[in-house]
Amino acid sequence: MSDTIPTYDRLLLRTDAPPGSSWGLFPDPERGMANFAGPEQVLRGRGAIRSGTAFNLDYPADAFEPSMSRSRRPPAQTVTSAHPDSFDDVWDGYWPQASSHVDGLRHRRAHGHGFYNGVPDSSVAAGTPQLGVQAWAEKPIAGRAVLADVARHREDAGRPIDHEGGEPLTLADITSTLAAQRSSLEPGDILLLHTGWADWFLGLDPAHRAAAKARRHTTGVAQSTEFLAWLWDSHIALLGTDTFAVEALPASPDSPFRETGEDGGMMHQELIAKLGCPLGELWHLAELASECARSGLYDAFLTVKPLNLPGAVGSPANATAIV
């Protein structure tokens, strides 16, 4: 597939679809860039398994409370019993994106163009399957993951990331991290960015968490066409981070996307609605990062199996890394 996929620069020249989009390019359009991780990439990922140690990449469902989100809340559990030896439970008010999760392709539409692959608004509703996260449950995303430990790299350089200020991380921060680790990316890889933001946020007391929420400045990738081009041209199958929104919030003042839509300069529209990139947010990456630093090896076999909820906008990641 890699040989037939146009570069990002060529995507920007499209006139048959929104410029900068991958609409109509993949054999399984509902999977978006997850198409890059096919059987060949799954088999290649086996080489990253060395000790057989498994790492859970999901925080507890109730970890982020109070949350940075204006609406998402952890679920409330009710335990029921039909008779003394039998128990069931019900989870009320469940927001699948309240903790570690993946954003599905119906999470964002491209302003002026619509949802990924031109799926109409009328098809993105409760009870409809189009662009639902079940596409990645029916065919889980699996293969080789490469972890870029940006937090450790910046610490080692004497420039720790400013989480309180919500520092935007540049493409150079990512590529210099990979170079320092001697990590290379191959087509179909899953890219994980460890920034330390989630652990920083969870380490705050409730009052400081509430203050951080009121500020709404969070660490993340700086918005740029250069980052999009690098991500696409690397043929990344999924981008997972330990940050609230993958990209910096609010958008960088020099974001090139401030005039292209109604998203305040954010590039979620470019990533999800145009490129079809699966995004992982609030992932638990600290333990995996520590193991990678100990071994000096920054790859792992990774599986991502969302809940099989037809038409869901997002889902817990259910992500497991094996090294």
- Chain segment 88-112, per-residue pLDDT in tens: 998 898 899 999 999 999 999 999 8
Q: Which CATH superfamily is domain 2-322 in?
A: Putative cyclase (3.50.30.50)
* Per-residue H/E/C for 82-134: EECCEEEEEEECCCCCCCCEEECCCCCCECCCECHHHCCHHHCCCCCCCCCCC
- Mean pLDDT computed over 179-184: 97
In DSSP terms, which residues pair with 299 in a beta bridge? 146
Dist. CA 110–CA 20, nearest whole Å? 11
Q: Are 132 and 175 in contact (CB under 8 A)?
A: no
In this prediction, residue 99 carries a pLDDT of 94
Confidence of residue 69 (pLDDT cuts 50, 70, 90): confident
Sequence-distant (≥ 6) Cβ neighbours of residue 248 within 8 angstroms: 166, 167, 168, 169, 218, 219, 220, 221, 222, 223
Confidence of residue 133 (pLDDT cuts 50, 70, 90): very high
**Per-residue pLDDT tens digits for 37-50:** 999 999 999 999 99
In this prediction, residue 189 carries a pLDDT of 98
The DSSP letter of residue 273 is I
In this prediction, residue 261 carries a pLDDT of 67
Dist. CA 96–CA 55, nearest whole Å? 21
In this prediction, residue 149 carries a pLDDT of 98
Residue 106 tokens read as 């119906």
In this prediction, residue 60 carries a pLDDT of 95
3-state secondary structure of 221: strand
pTM for this prediction: 0.96
CA torsion, ordered 155, 159, 165, 169, to nearest 10 deg: -80
In this prediction, residue 74 carries a pLDDT of 85
Confidence of residue 317 (pLDDT cuts 50, 70, 90): very high
In this prediction, residue 259 carries a pLDDT of 79
H/E element, 76: strand 76-83
Burial class (CB in 10 A: 0-12, 13-18, 19+), 24: exposed
Token pair 């969870």 is found at 202
3-state secondary structure of 156: helix
Dist. CA 151–CA 154, nearest whole Å? 5
Task: Quote the percentage of the chain above a pLDDT of 70.
Answer: 98
In this prediction, residue 304 carries a pLDDT of 98
Tell whether the model's pLDDT for residue 61 goes beyond 90.
yes
3-state secondary structure of 69: coil
Q: Are 115 and 124 in contact (CB under 8 A)?
A: yes
In this prediction, residue 1 carries a pLDDT of 61
The DSSP letter of residue 47 is G
In this prediction, residue 262 carries a pLDDT of 66
In this prediction, residue 179 carries a pLDDT of 98
Tell whether the model's pLDDT for residue 225 goes beyond 70.
yes
